[in-house]
Structure formats: C-alpha cells, structure tokens
Structure 1
C-alpha cells in the first residue's frame, strides 16, 4: 500500500511544474496537501488494487490535462530531473514519505543518469530516478530563494517606504496571505490601517475605526477578505476588507481585555480569542458566539497563541511564563487542555509561531517563542499533544515590551534557515537556526523605539517592521524587485 501511495505522489510531482507556472509556491503547497491526503486515505483503505486503479486513472487525467511531460517514464520509476527546487524539497519534508533526520540522502547521478538506492523497499522504485539537486529548469525557485548564502539572501538595500499614520504604538503588522502588495497594521490608538506598498508610491488604502481602546492584535482570514481584531475595549471585531467597514462586534463574555486572536487554519469560520482574565475561547464567526466546551482557563493573562498547520493543536502563552497546549476538535470546536510547559517563571510569553518544516537543515516541527528574558527561544515539537523541547535560544533585548517574531516564509534548497525578531534595542535581528555559533546573520537599524513586530511578504521581497512610536518601515531586499 505504501508503495502505491508513493507512486501516486511521484506521478503528481511529475506534472507539478505544469501547474500555475508563475506561482511556484502554490505548487509546493499542492504536493504537500496531496501527500497529507494520501497518508490519511492509506489508513482507511485495505485493498491495494483500489489505489492502483486510482493511479492508472489519475495518470490518464493528468496526461489529458497537461499533455505528455518532457521527461518520460522508465518502467515504474519516474524521471523528475526538471522538477523545481520547491517541489523536490517537499519530498523530504513530508513524513513518513521523506527522511526524518537532518542528513542529506541524495547522491549525484551515476554514469547511467539516475540515482541509486535512495531508499529501501517500495521507496526505491519511486525515487530511483529523482534528482533533488536543483537544475537549470528550477528558475522560479532559484529566483525566489535569492543568493547562495544566508547573508546574501537577507541582505537589504534600504527602505522601500515609511508609514506614520498611527499616533501610538503599532502592535502588529502583517502582509496579506500569499500577497506581496498589501500590508495591515494595528495600533494602540484604536485603529487599524490597510496599506498598498507596491506599485509605488505606497499609500494607505483605508483606516478601520470603531474600537474604543487600543487594538492589541489582528489577523487576516485565509482569503484576505476579512480582518479579525482584538482590543483592550473587551471586543473582537470582524472587518470587511473590501468595504473597510465593521461586519460584527463580539463582546468578550468575561469582560476581559482581548490580547490576542487567531483564525483556525482549516476553518476560518472558527477563531480563537485570548483575554486578560486567563480565558481562551473558541468562537464562531457566523454567529459571534462561543462553542460549547470551547473555552478554557490558564494560569495568567493570555498574550499569544498559535495553531499547528493541521489546526488540531493550539498553543497559548501567558504573562507568567507558561505555554499551554490544547487539542482542538475541529468539528465541535471543543478545547481539551493537554500540556503546560514553563519557559521562564514570571516572564511573559509575548509571541508564539509554529512551523511544520523550515528547510533541509531544520526539518523538525518547530515553535518560535518570544519571552521577556532577553532571549528568543526555539522549541522542537515532540508530541501529538503539543509537548515541547527547547532546541536553542538567540540573544535579543526583551524585558517588558510585547515583541513578536516570525519564521522566514520560503522553504528552499538554499543553505540555512532563518527566523526574525524585533527587539527593545530598536533593531531587527535575523538568526540562522542551523548554526551553533554566530547565529546572527543580519541586523537592521532604522527604528527609534523598540521594534514590536516583523513580517515578510510571500516572496520575501519586502519586510515590514513596526515600533512603539507608531512607525512602520517597509524594507526592500537586495536583488529582489518589488513588482506586481
């Protein structure tokens, strides 16, 4: 059964270069989703003949849709030498189909033009002819990845634009999903703004007004048509992005200030809010009401939250130095408390970001955490219940400010894997998580107040950072052209 599933996945990868040729990121996500579906279906089906028939029919459909690929079949092996970097890398990222350790298992071609003995058993047949070394055909992936070293990848040529439309600290800045042109900001002046950064000149599209107190956090919906915001006025609001109007006001049931909010990644009709009265609450966007069994209390004010990529694990960090993991029933919205991890007793957890797979050098599922102890912490996710194991820390300045950090969005064959964080010393820091020493690969100077949040657009051509004085800087990356 596993062998047939591998053939299905390899067949899809074979045609992947033909799907949306101008959007290599979509092709990567497509293969990852296909692998997930194959794994789920493999658990349910016991008859391999069903999957073999499916493989035959899918091959016919793909051939009729895209035509015969330039590379031909060789028996039951597939020659994927023209596959892009972003596609090829997804094999190694998807357990149990890829290697689980950090060692590189590919080899150069032999004289016969194929790779030998990449994997044992049924894996060998599928991967016999796969070349995961980037080729000249991987131009889109090569262009997105940038230079060959981490320092080259994250060298910046200067400032693209500076926004100063907010009169108080900008608490969060986020580019729209898979969109390199729009960025939104939330501020303690009680407003949110949506800005267009390319093509120049950069402009403020609209200001979202309605909250009666500072806006602490916000998030884009998956389709970018809705913004969800949380505020110190004890309300969460849903905003129509196109119209620039408030669609719904949700009053916090316990009367606490809302410190953080997040959409459920697989069902944006669900969202979660965390408040100053230690409550984590799963809400329904359509009704504005909470789910039965969808609330839980933790030890302190809820300051930060993150879902894993499946939406089945939720982490919440509080102002007392603990991270709580919850198991989420996506059908019913029920939360079940699973784990408590003490990062540093008494020190606030201001940011949590989850990433399933970062690069070839950093394959473990990871959690990036900002804690008020002058360190950025990287945790390895070690259990299905959200258990964590500290992997390493990076030095930043953070004792009291609510600073956030991110993983760099692109996954590629380039060397290194980076995370970015703001800092109270008014700098933006880039750290390579694969290094054991000299981890800081870049530092951006330009803010005149503590940097609270950072965010890349989808192709990493622009980086946004915001600070406690209300300034937002859009940085342009060297060698990347910010064009539509």
Structure 2
C-alpha cells in the first residue's frame, strides 16, 4: 500500500515536470530523479502518504494550473472504439482458456529457490529518468543480449541511444534524419545496425558504431511506414508494414524495396516473427492478424488470418516459442484497442492461431505494447508485462485467475504507457509514455 502511494506521488511530480524550468531539460531530469530518491528514502504511514499526496497535488495545481495527464498527441488508431469504462479494480481479468500446467511445476519452483513470481518481478526502484524527447516515445528496446544499451523512438522524429552502464546513465546519441514521427525500429541480431520506420514514408538504416545514417529507403508518396523488423535469419533484409496495407521487404545492401509485395489490408501497425525467420505475423487496424511465410529470397506468401474484432486495432505482437518449462507451445502476445491483451497459441505449420487467454486492459486509442519476460521461468506460472492507457505498467502471471493475475503494478507514469522493454537478464525494465518520459526501473533484488 505504501509503495503504491509513493509511486502515485512520483507520477504526480512527473506530470508537472515539463513545467519546471522549461528551458533547462537537464535540470528537470536531475530534479525528478532526486524526487524519486527522496520518496523511496522517506518513511511514512499509508495515511500520511495519502495526506501528503493530497497536499502536494493542491500546491502543484496552485503553481502550475491543472495539467491533464494525456496532454500530448500520439499515433492513434483509426478504428471506431467503444468508449466503455473498465472498473479500476478489474484492469486484468482472464476470461477464457488455461495456459500453464501447474502440477509438474513444483520441481521447477524448487530450482528457483522458492521465489514467488511477485518477488522475482519486484521492480520498485527508479534507476533513472530520461526526457530527451519532446513528444511521446513510441517504442523502447534494449539491444540484444545487452544489459545497458537502450534505443528509443519518438513522435518528435528522432531516435536516441541511452547507456545505463555508468554510475550516471547518459544519452549517447540523438539520431536525426526523419522528418515526421518515428513509429518503430529494430536492432540487428549483433546490434551493429538499427532500422527505423517513420510516417515520412521512409525507413532508415543507422550504424551504431558512429551513429550515422547509412541509407534511406523511401516508399511512394503519401505512404506511411508504420512498423519494421529485421529478418532474423538474414539481417540484410528488413520487413516493413505501411499505411496501404502492404508488407514489403527492403534490401539493406541495395537500399531498395524488393518487387514482391504481400497485401494484407488496412494499416499494418505491428509485425513479429518466429526465431527462424520463416514465419511472420502482421496485425492491422481491422483487428486482423495474418500469418506470412517468408522464403530465403524474400518472397512473401499470405497463409492464415485470425480476427480478434472488426472494431479494434492490433498495436503490438510478440512471439515466444515457449515461456516456461511447462508451457512449450509457441505463443503470440497481442495488444488490441478493444481494451484487451490476448495470448494466442500457434497451432500448425501454417501459422494458424487459436485463443488461449484474454485479459482486460485500458487500451482504446494509442499504440500500446507488451512483452514476454525474457528469462524462461523456472517458477510455477509465466509472466508478461504490458503498458496501459491508465498510466500503469502491469506484470501479469498468465496462469493465475481473476485479479490475482496481476503480480506487480508500477505507477510512475502520469500518462499512457506506450512501450516497455526488458534487458536480457531482467535487471532493468524501460517504460515510455505519451509525454515523452522514459523511466528505467531497477529490480529490487539486483545490484549493479
């Protein structure tokens, strides 16, 4: 209870932070980080925290006025979304299916030293706050098998690379070149390249060693590139989904799109692949997820279609071959603007999907993402993490029923949480929001 109230105070401070010393972003970063440290070090009862929260809210409103939580713009979906309100006490509620067998999991739990899921994912400490972007941060992602390097993309048209390796985390570089909002990006398998997609109709290839743009590949006029992904088995190829409903492949070496086009329909907002790079899944703003077979030469073939709802957009797709010792079937984790997060199983060699479980989540308007926890769980249960338009980050044990499925909640953001990313050993979690804030959370039982 006390920790939740501390996070609410921090979220309040973060909401007003843009109004403090507007010409001095470095001061704002230092201020909000120091506030986080002071709040963690202060010992108060729950009643005292409630009173403090009320008093501080009143003082900040008197000084800066009433600041709305979602005051920034974002890449919005185009579907007609129901405006129904979800009860705040039932943010996540599994409605169907069962995922992880539990009878055989006791040995796994013993191997993990008896640590509970909630204890393992106790991300309560704020390690650092980045605010180098002036608009919403659309995506955050740690480099592959890397503990400290993080890339961020933003509606301000820029990308940034951050380094958490030193005592004082720093922004290593700002990658400028896109003329409109950056919708997403991907690291190459060995982290030497980054590919980015933007609403200016281009994808750009960046060299991480010197932060230079190696090439720019452009779509036709009035076409927005909404997502991109390296081909896992051949990083010379990049898949890109656009606003014409086309999934295309670009050749990094030639700097051109291949002639082969896979027509999906709608706006393609998300794409993911299996580990081999043979199968991809693309999600659009019609609630459809299409499986695509990819040949070695880059030829794409549409296979199977799975429809969540005709009135929602599929904003995030993540693939995992298995998520615990007891759950070995391949799965897709899906965010959709029907106030839901889905877990789908891959059922055959054509990439067909079947609903395993559905969770409710505040999600109607923005591009919200989720992720599997990277370490294969040795515990009873399996965990995923998602952002939410209520400003919270939810850790969800997909095996638990009802409200018990949420094993931890982080409340440091004061606007919609758009993207999240673990580093490879789960020691840091990065989360981004609609106001351009990136928070680095440190796991409670991990030292530097």
Fold shared, TM-score > 0.5 on shorter chain: yes
Distance 1:349 1:107, change over 3 A: closer
Partner of 1:453: 419
Confirm whether residue 277 of structure 1 aligns to residue 244 of structure 2.
yes
Structure of greater relative contact order (alpha carbons < 8 Å, 6+ residues apart): 2
Q: 2:328 aligns with which of 363, 384, 401?
A: 363
Mark the runs of 5 or more structure 2 residues left unpaired by the alignment: 1-98
- Pick the aligned partner of 2:153 from 183, 186, 196: 186
What are the residue-to-residue correspondences of 1:154-303 with 2, within 5 Å?
Answer: 154-253=121-220, 255-293=222-260, 295-303=261-269
Is contact 1:292–1:334 with CA below 8 Å preserved after alignment? no
Q: Whole-Å Cα distance in 2 between the matches of residues 394 and 423 of structure 1?
A: 12
Q: Distance in 1 between matches of 2:362 and 2:437?
A: 19
SS in 2 for 1:269: strand
- Alpha-carbon distance in structure 2 between the residues aligned to 1:101 and 1:183: 31
The answer on 1:412 being equivalent to 2:390 is no
What do the CA deviations read for 1:191-217 (whole angstroms, capped 9, x no partner)?
A: 000001122201000100010111110
Contact map agreement 1:233 1:257 (CA 8 A) in 2? yes
Q: Deviations over 1:324-357 (max 9, x none)?
A: 1111112x11000001111111211100001001
Q: Is the 8 A contact 1:427 1:450 kept in 2?
A: yes
Tell whether the 8 Å contact from 1:432 to 1:441 is kept in structure 2 after alignment: yes
- The reply to whether residue 322 of structure 1 matches residue 288 of structure 2 is yes
Contact 2:145 2:424 in 1 (8 A): yes
The CA distance in 1 between the partners of 2:376 and 2:166, in whole Å, is 26
Q: For residue 104 of structure 1, report the CA deviation from its aligned partner.
A: 6.4
1:361–1:434: 8 Å Cα contact kept in structure 2? no
Q: Which runs of 5+ in 1 are unaligned?
A: 1-99, 109-131, 136-141
Distance 2:335 2:443 in 1: 25
What is the number of equivalent residue pairs in this alignment?
Answer: 349
Q: Distance in 2 between matches of 1:107 and 1:451?
A: 35
Q: 1:134 to 1:275 in 2, by over 3 A?
A: same
Runs of 4+ in 1 over 4 A off after TM superposition: 100-108, 132-135
Residues 329-388 of structure 1 show CA distances to partners (whole Å, capped at 9, x for unaligned) of 12x110000011111112111000010010023222100000001111110111111111
For the pair shown, the structure with the greater C-alpha radius of gyration is 1
State the 1:289 CA deviation.
Answer: 1.9
TM-score by length of 2: 0.75
What is the rounded CA distance, in whole Å, between the counterparts of 1:403 and 1:162 in structure 2?
A: 20
Q: Which residue does the alignment assign to 2:352?
A: 387
